Amino acid sequence: MPIPDSMESRLAAIRTRMAAACARAGRASAEVALLPVSKTFGVEAVRQAMALGLRRFGENKTQEIRQKAAQFEADGPQWVMIGHLQTNKARDAARLAAEVQSLDRLDLARELDLRLQKEGRALDVLVQVKTSPEPSKFGLDPAALPAFLRELAAFHSLRPRGLMTLAVQSDDPQAVRECFCCLRMWRGRLREDGFLGLERLSMGMSGDFELAIEEGSTEVRIGSAIFGARSYPARLPGGA
Ligand SMILES: *Cc1c(COP(=O)(O)O)cnc(C)c1O
């Protein structure tokens, strides 16, 4: 039996709730991946999570990835960039990230592609979409997605694999659900337009992942429910 309120017990509880949400939605558990979000937590927490079988970790600052990555050998974690990425940090992302989920504009795509070419590697990317009316959220306006994806095709080092969003912060589950529903709808529309590489929907966090799974999420990004409370709010403007 895991110790109560250990990382192991919190992780087990999340997996149980994920499985239950899948069952409610008539989905197989294997359809939904878990991306633990380790931002603000130290390498000890990451090591502990690795001992529990986790390998990919979401982070929102390239600087933090750099600091953490330096403390692991080559078989260390895979770092997934989920926070707002400044264009002048594209080089760090191209070197350090296994994946970027917060691609939301062409100048960033262009710079990432250039830096990736220099590194001689390609990168899976998700396009971050603004599905909520909140003014502070990053992400592409959904209506701009078709044109954006057409332009992305020119950047051969970027492999668009799906869409990512943050739902509105609201006590109204229906409002949250609509954000997730919007993302799934756009994936369907884009696939009909021929963007068949778009399979993944990264949506759902500690506070709303069950709704996200019910609405078709293929990966939930969970921080505080696994690692504990952070000492700053989860959603600083800028994903800082
Ligand atoms: C911090 C963060 C998460 C995880 O948030 P929790 O509420 O701690 O689960 C997920 N996605 C993004 C983009 C984040 O910045």
pLDDT at residue 193, as a whole number: 96
pLDDT at residue 240, as a whole number: 36
pLDDT at residue 133, as a whole number: 85
Q: Which atom of ligand 1 is nearest to the CA of 225?
A: 9
For residues 72 and 75, give the distance between their C-alpha atoms in angstroms, rounded to a whole number: 7
Select from 39, 132, 205 the residue to mutate for testing ligand 1; criterion: most ligand atoms less than 8 Å from CB.
Answer: 205
Find the 221 Cα to ligand 1 centroid distance in Å: 6
Q: Which residue has the tokens 């079988």?
A: 53
Whole domain around residue 220: which residue ranges? 7-227
Find the 205 Cα to ligand 1 centroid distance in Å: 6
Select from 221, 230, 231, 232 the residue to mutate for testing ligand 1; criterion: most ligand atoms less than 8 Å from CB.
Answer: 221
Q: Which atom of ligand 1 is nearest to the CA of 209?
A: 9
For residues 63 and 56, give the distance between their C-alpha atoms in angstroms, rounded to a whole number: 17
Amino acid identity, position 187? R
For residues 111 and 136, give the distance between their C-alpha atoms in angstroms, rounded to a whole number: 24
Q: Which atom of ligand 1 is nearest to the CA of 235?
A: 15
pLDDT in tens, the chain (240 residues): 678 789 999 999 999 999 999 999 999 999 999 999 999 999 999 999 999 999 999 999 999 999 999 999 988 999 999 999 999 999 999 999 999 999 999 999 999 999 999 999 999 999 999 999 887 778 999 999 999 999 999 999 999 999 999 999 999 999 999 999 999 999 999 999 999 999 999 999 999 999 999 999 999 999 999 999 887 655 544 443
> Does residue 107 form part of some domain?
yes
Question: How does strand 33-36 pair with strand 78-81?
Answer: unpaired
For residues 99 and 77, give the distance between their C-alpha atoms in angstroms, rounded to a whole number: 12
The helix/strand/coil state of 75 is: coil
> Does residue 232 form part of some domain?
no
Can you give the CATH number for the domain in which 131 is found? 3.20.20.10
Select from 41, 56, 82 the residue to mutate for testing ligand 1; criterion: most ligand atoms less than 8 Å from CB.
Answer: 82
> Does residue 153 form part of some domain?
yes
Rg of the chain in Å (alpha carbons):
17
pLDDT at residue 237, as a whole number: 46
Q: Which atom of ligand 1 is nearest to the CA of 227?
A: 8
- Determine contact, residues 220/209, Cβ cutoff 8 Å: yes
Predicted TM-score (pTM) of the model is 0.94
- Determine contact, residues 227/41, Cβ cutoff 8 Å: yes
Q: Which atom of ligand 1 is nearest to the CA of 221?
A: 10
Find the 194 Cα to ligand 1 centroid distance in Å: 31
Facing residues of 79 across strands? 57, 97
> Does residue 239 form part of some domain?
no
**Looking at the 3D structure of the chain, how many domains does it have?**
1
First and final C-alpha spacing in the chain: 37
Within 8 A by CB and 6+ apart from 18, the residues are: 29, 32, 34, 209, 210, 213, 220
H/E stretch holding 160: strand 158-164
> Does residue 65 form part of some domain?
yes
pLDDT at residue 239, as a whole number: 40
| Backbone phi, psi, residue 68, to 5° | -70, -45
> Does residue 196 form part of some domain?
yes
CA angle, 37 then 41 then 42, to 5°: 125
Q: Which residue has the CA at smallest separation from atom 2 of ligand 1?
A: 234
For 197, the token pair is 């590489």
